[in-house]
Structure 1
Amino acid sequence: MTTKEPKYYFENKLKPPKAFFDWCYSQISTFKWSNKQKTILASDRSDCFVIERRLTKQSNLTFFDKFYSFATVLVTAKRIEIQSYGFWSRVTEGKQTIECELTNFEQFAGGKHVMVTRLDNGRPVFGLTPNKPFGGPYAGVKLYTNGWADKISNTSELRYLRIEQLSAFDIENIYKYRKEIEFLQKINANALANQVMFPRYMNNVYGSWRKNVDMRTINENWLRKNKQFFKNSSRTFLEYELEKRIKERNGKVVPGIERYLDYRDINKVPKGVGIIRFQNWMIKNKVNFKYYLDYLSLLKDLGIELDENLILPKDLKKAHDNAVELLNQMQREVNEKMYEKRLKAILKYETVVGDCAFLVPKDLNELVAEGKALHHCVGGSGYIDSHKQGKTTIVFIRQKEAIEKPFYTLELKNENIIQLRGKHNQVAPPEIKEAAESWLGWLKKQKS
C-alpha cells in the first residue's frame, strides 16, 4: 500500500508534450454559421473539422456541444503512466470554450500500480471512474500514438521482456506478472509466456471471453515445479490442465482433443464412459461440446437414465432432435416467479429492423412454445434457467407482418450472438444474420 495522498500523483505526474494537447484540440470540432450578410466562427482554430450551419434568426448559438476524452501513455526508465484527459466543449453566444482536466491516471513504478481519479468536485481519490455510464474508464477514449509501445519495450521496467504487440489495456497485466513472463521467456516457453501476457480469448462455443491461464495457479513455485513440461516447447496452460484432469479420470490425452474440449469441461463429461473413448468419439464426430451439453440437459429433463449408447450416440444430431421432439410432446408449465425483474430489464431489447421484429419472451412458457414450434431445444430447462437468471438471453425474431408466428431464435451472451437458429436448428440465411447484426449494433448504442 502506498502512503502518498492521491493528489501527490496528480501534482507529480509526467508532463505530456505540447504535441499531445495540440492533437487533442485538433480532434474537437468547431462551428461556423453564415448567411449572405454575416458569418460567425465559434473559434479561430483552423486544424480541426468545422461544422457549418446556416445562420438564421432561429439559430441556437448557446449550447453544450460534447464531451471528448483522450489519453496518452508516457514512459521513462522508472515509470509508465496512462493519463486520460476530459475535454468539455461549450458554445455561448456563438463562441466556443473548451475546458480540459486530467480525469483518470494510472502509474506503474517500483513494482506498484497506482490508480487515481478526479471526483466531480475536483478532489483526487484512488481508483478509476467510468468514462461513460455503461462503460469502463477507457470507453470511448482516443489514444494518442506517440511511439509509447516501443518506449515500453526499450526503456521501461518491462524492457527485459519480448513483447511483439502491445495495447494500453495490456500494460496492467504484463506489469503485474513481469517476473513470471521473464522466467518463461528465459526457458523458451513462449506460448505460455504469451498466455500470461494476454490471458483472455474469445470462446466461440460459449460466446464469452475465457481465460487462457489461471493466475491463481501460476506462481514462482508452480513454474519451477513444472519447468520441464513447458521448457523449449509451445505447450500451453490449457494443455497442461487438460492433461492433468484427463489423468485424474484415469486416461491420457488423445491428440487433437484440445480443439473440442476445454479442461474446464472435463467435470461435465458423464462418468459412465471411459475418458479415452469419449475423446475419440468427440474427435471422430467433431462434436461441439455446448451442443452436447444441450443434449444431456434434454435427457435430464426427460428423466432418462444415461447408458453408454446414450452418452455416445452414433448420430448426435439425430439423438438431439429425437430428445427435442420427446420433450416438446410433454405438457409442461414453467414457474414464473423471479422472472418479472429480469423481463423488465430486457424489454428494451425489443425493436424492428427492416422486416424483422425482435421480441423477448414475456413469460418463460413462451420458450417452451418456441421450442415446440421450431422443433429445437430452447424450451429445455437449461435454456429456461439460463435465460431466467440472466446467464444468457433468448430473443425471438419474427416477421414484422406475422409477429405471432415463431420464425428464428437468437441467443445473446456477453453482447455476442452465439446462436441464431430456425426450424429444426436450421442455420439462418444471410438476410436474417444481417438483420440480427444490425439489431445488435442498435442494442449496443442504447447501452452506451
Structure 2
Amino acid sequence: MAISFSCSCGKSFRAKDEHAGRRLKCPGCGVVLAVPLLGEAGVAEDGYHLAEPDPGPAAEPAPAMRFGPRAEVAPPATPRPRSAPGEEPRFDPEAPPSSLREYLYWALLLALIPLVVSVLSRTKESSTFVDRFKATIEKAPPEVQQRIAQLFETKGEGVELEDLLTALPGHRLAEAHLPRDTGMHWIYGALAATVFWVLALAMFPREKRTPGHLLSVGLFTGTLGIVLLLVVQYLAAATQGVWIRGRGIVVLLFYIAKFIGFSYASASDPDTSFALSVLGFTCGVGLCEELCKALPLIGYYRRDAQMGWRGACLWGLASGIGFGVAEGIMYSARYYNGITSGGIYLVRFVSCVALHAIWTAAIGITMWRRQETIQGDREWPDYALAILRILAVPMVLHGLYDTLLKKDLDLWALAVGAASFAWFAWQVEAARTQANEPPKALRAWA
C-alpha cells in the first residue's frame, strides 16, 4: 500500500504508509511537504493509481467570505529547476527522526582547542627569528659557524633563508619541529584531511550523500580553487601603479582587480592602521578566499535546487577542509619548516582548517536559503550583489580574525573564532527549524 500526494508545483510523490506524517523537501520548488496520513490522501495498491479527476464544467466562483487575502496566489518567480521524472528527493525517510549525529558539528568547536592553547601560552617575550638564529649559531660546531660566515661574506645581504637553514645542523633552528627540506607536512595535511572528511561523512544521517562527492569538492577547492586564488592575487598585484581610462566591462574589472590589489597591500603592510587593515583583509583576503571556497556551491545552485541545507553544509565543510589543508601545506613549506615548533602545525592543520570549514559551511546554508537570488536569467550586477550578500558575514569574520592576529590582539582573534562557530551553529539550527515548518501552501488556506 502506498500514499499518493502531490506538491502545489505539480510534482507527484508516492510514500509507504509507515512514512505517514514524515516531512520531505520537494525537489521541484523547495517547499517542505508532510506525507499525509491515511485517509487524507489517495492510496495506490498493486500498481493501481488514482485517476486524475474530470475537471467537468467550470465551477461557480466561490463566495468571497470563504477565502482570506492569504489565499491569493502571487505571480511565480523564475521557476527552480525540477528533478527528472521518477527521481527521488534527497530526503531519506528511512533515517531516524533525530540522532546525535545531527549535532556532531559541535565537534568542530573542539578543533579550536589548539588555537586556544597557543593564544593563552603565547608571551610578549617570545624569541624572534633573529634571536633564535643567533642562539643556534652559538651552539653550532665551529665548521658550521665558519660556513655561515662564508655565506654572509659571499652573498652579503642577498643571502637566502634557504641557504641559512640548510647550512645549520639538522637544517633547522634550535627547537624547530621539522627540518627545512622535509615532506612531513604533506603527511600532516593528509591526516587532517582524512579526519575532517570522516567527521563530515558522520554528520547529518538524514542527508543522502556519497563520499566521492565530498572528496571531489574538497579536491577541487584544494587544487583548482587555490590556483584560481593565486591567479587573482597575481593579476591584482599587476594592476598596482597602472591607470587606464575608458568605459565598459574591461575597465570596470580592471579597477575591481586594482581595489583587490590595494586591499592585499593594506593587509600585508605592518604599518597600516587597524581600520585600513580590516578593509584590506576583508575586501582582499576574506572576499577572494571565501569566494574561491564557495565556487562548488555556486556552480551547483546555479543549475539545480534539489540539495537541502544539510547537503549544502556538507559541501561547504568539504570545500573549506580542502582549502585549509592546502593552505597549511603551503604555509608549512614557506614559513614553518626548519623554523617553528610543533605547536604551530597543530594550530594550522586542526584549528585553521576547522575555521575555514566553519566559514564555508555557513556560506553553504545561506546559499541554500537564498538560492533563488542566484538562479535564472539575471543581470550580472544583480548576480554579483547576491553573491556578495551570501558571502558577507563569513567574509567580515575572516577579515577581522586576520586583522586581530596581525595586530597581536590574539585574545580578540580567539573571540572572533568563537563568534564564527556561533554564527555557523545558529545557521544550522535556523535551517533545521525552517525545514521543519509546515508547507506555506497549507497555511494559506487555513
Question: Is this a same-fold pair by TM over 0.5?
Answer: no
Point out the structure with the larger strand share: 1
State TM-score, norm by structure 1: 0.22
* Structure ranking higher on relative contact order (CA contacts 8 Å, 6+ apart): 2
Q: Which has the higher helix share?
A: 2
